[in-house]
Structure 1
Amino acid sequence: LLILILALIVWFLVRQRKSRGDRSGAETRERIAENVVVCAHCRLRVPESESIEHEGRHYCCDEHRRLGPL
């Protein structure tokens, strides 16, 4: 009976640890999936969702958009 209880405790702990690891992996995959673009002015790499697109080019900020590409 004691061995059965210990086996159940170990199984429960392993199962908990695996379920926690799966969640962090999903978050990492979501971050990796976003495209990264290069600012046409300073060459800084920024996520596409945070960039400013103007005339087919991407910029890291509005000031660099106004200054234009180098």
Structure 2
Amino acid sequence: MGKWLLVALVVVIVFWVLKVYRKHLDRASPSRPTPAVEDMVRCAHCGVHVPRSESLASGERHFCSEEHRRLYRQG
């Protein structure tokens, strides 16, 4: 009976040590920030998709560069 009690005690101690170690690892690892999601818009001249914040808007249309906005206005 003493051997079984000793085995049970060792098993409990091992599980407890693993639990404490796992919590330590969770705290030590830096959390990764989630990337910001941004709408993509299509250039009215060439069709390239660019993030809305990087596009040049002209009315309802968006452009990837000033040159494409100028070329689109010219015809």
| TM-score for both structures, normalised by structure 2 | 0.63
Superposed counterparts of 1:1-70, under 5 Å: 3=14, 4-13=16-25, 15-16=26-27, 20=31, 23-24=32-33, 26-27=34-35, 30=36, 32=37, 34-68=38-72
Q: Which has the larger radius of gyration?
A: 2
Which structure is richer in relative contact order (CA contacts within 8 A, separation 6 or more)? 1
Moved over 4 A (4+): none
CA drift of 1:18 comes to: 7.2
RMSD between aligned residues: 2.8
Counterpart residue identity of residue 23, structure 2? W
Unaligned runs of 5+ in 2: 1-9
| TM-score for both structures, normalised by structure 1 | 0.66
Number of residue pairs matched by the alignment: 62
Unaligned runs of 5+ in 1: none
- Give me the identity figure in percent: 35
More helix by share: 1
